[in-house]
Homo-oligomer: A and B are copies of this chain.
């Protein structure tokens, strides 16, 4: 089995070797740009790790890993248009740097490039790989749609929120792992277990993001602490607070959400105080841990040695240990 670092090197080489046509330049330059903005490459890493989990060479699933990475970057380009986001990883988003039309069309051709990489997979696995990839891609689109709809709604329940983040972010982790498992010749049962593992850690990761947005160490966080509060983003924390708050706290929270003009720090502090009064941080952590534990239980059921599981569990721990 390779070390995580070795797999990351394999990935960086493969990403560097992704070749796109030179022309039309305006169509292909944005692809190289967005892919080279970096990121942790967690999703393609999970593809490779899942193949090794079942005792096969990670190189077998490198094309599927590239498909997942290119697809993920495609969703970033289109989501950034829809979310009107000026920055991605501290750099101009594609629609800002080029234009909205370029971002739409380069995104579209990235989806094609993802599928081209997928088609390179050993034909023996192709049908299963396509079905898994397409189901994943569809889930991600549905998640983005729900996320946009939730912005306009004031009655989003916690269950709906969990289902939205499951679709928007967790199915892609599950899908990445399942692709790797299929190519690793896992049994159908084990492929399904690793998919479920991925979905559950995905939800745990997103809940962690929600918590960190409010409670991260500002020195280490790299972005504005309380960004979600400033934007009234319907995170687990806000939805749970709205569910639990009564009387004065509920009044205060509602008035804070409705403020049109405010001093950023004061709003963040005031909302955080309501959260603290309602014990929201701990409730969110408990929910996060419940998903994490569910994931770990699923992993236990997978029919391979503990040694084979070490990499995926190490990566999971590393990602869950973030304090910023």
What is the interface of chain A, defined by CB distance below 8 A to chain B? 21, 23-24, 26-27, 78, 81-82, 101, 104-105, 107-109, 111-113, 115-116, 118-119, 123, 126-127, 130-131, 134, 137-138, 141-142, 144-146, 148-149
Copies in the assembly, this chain: 2
Q: How far is the CB of A128 from chain B (nearest CB, A)?
A: 10
Measured in the bound complex, the distance between the Cα atoms of B243 and A154 in whole Å is: 60
Pair B130/A115 contact, Cβ less than 8 Å: yes
Closest 6 CB pairs of A and B: A119-B130, A109-B141, A27-B145, A82-B101, A24-B145, A112-B137
Pair A27/B134 contact, Cβ less than 8 Å: no
Q: Add 19 more A-B contacts to A81-B101, A105-B148, A108-B141 (CB < 8 A).
A: A21-B142, A23-B142, A27-B141, A78-B105, A78-B108, A81-B104, A82-B105, A105-B141, A108-B111, A109-B138, A111-B111, A112-B138, A115-B134, A115-B137, A116-B134, A119-B131, A123-B123, A123-B126, A126-B127
Measured in the bound complex, the distance between the Cα atoms of B75 and A104 in whole Å is: 11
Pair B112/A134 contact, Cβ less than 8 Å: yes
- A105's contact among B27, B112, B145, by CB below 8 Å, is which? B145
Chain B residues whose C-beta falls within 8 Å of the C-beta of A116 in the assembled complex: 134, 138
Measured in the bound complex, the distance between the Cα atoms of B146 and A82 in whole Å is: 24
What are 15 inter-chain pairs, A to B, with CB distance below 8 A? A21-B142, A23-B142, A24-B142, A26-B149, A27-B142, A27-B145, A81-B104, A101-B148, A104-B104, A105-B141, A108-B108, A108-B141, A111-B111, A119-B131, A123-B123
Q: How far is the CB of A100 from chain B (nearest CB, A)?
A: 8
Chain B residues whose C-beta falls within 8 Å of the C-beta of A137 in the assembled complex: 112, 115
Measured in the bound complex, the distance between the Cα atoms of B129 and A118 in whole Å is: 13
- A26's contact among B105, B126, B145, by CB below 8 Å, is which? B145
- The winner among A26, A141, A146 for most chain B CB atoms within 10 A is A141
Measured in the bound complex, the distance between the Cα atoms of B131 and A130 in whole Å is: 13
Measured in the bound complex, the distance between the Cα atoms of B126 and A23 in whole Å is: 28
Chain B residues whose C-beta falls within 8 Å of the C-beta of A148 in the assembled complex: 101, 105
Pair B78/A144 contact, Cβ less than 8 Å: no
Measured in the bound complex, the distance between the Cα atoms of B26 and A289 in whole Å is: 33
Measured in the bound complex, the distance between the Cα atoms of B260 and A27 in whole Å is: 30
Pair B112/A141 contact, Cβ less than 8 Å: yes
Pair B104/A82 contact, Cβ less than 8 Å: yes
Measured in the bound complex, the distance between the Cα atoms of B104 and A108 in whole Å is: 10
Chain B residues whose C-beta falls within 8 Å of the C-beta of A81 in the assembled complex: 101, 104
Chain B residues whose C-beta falls within 8 Å of the C-beta of A123 in the assembled complex: 123, 126-127
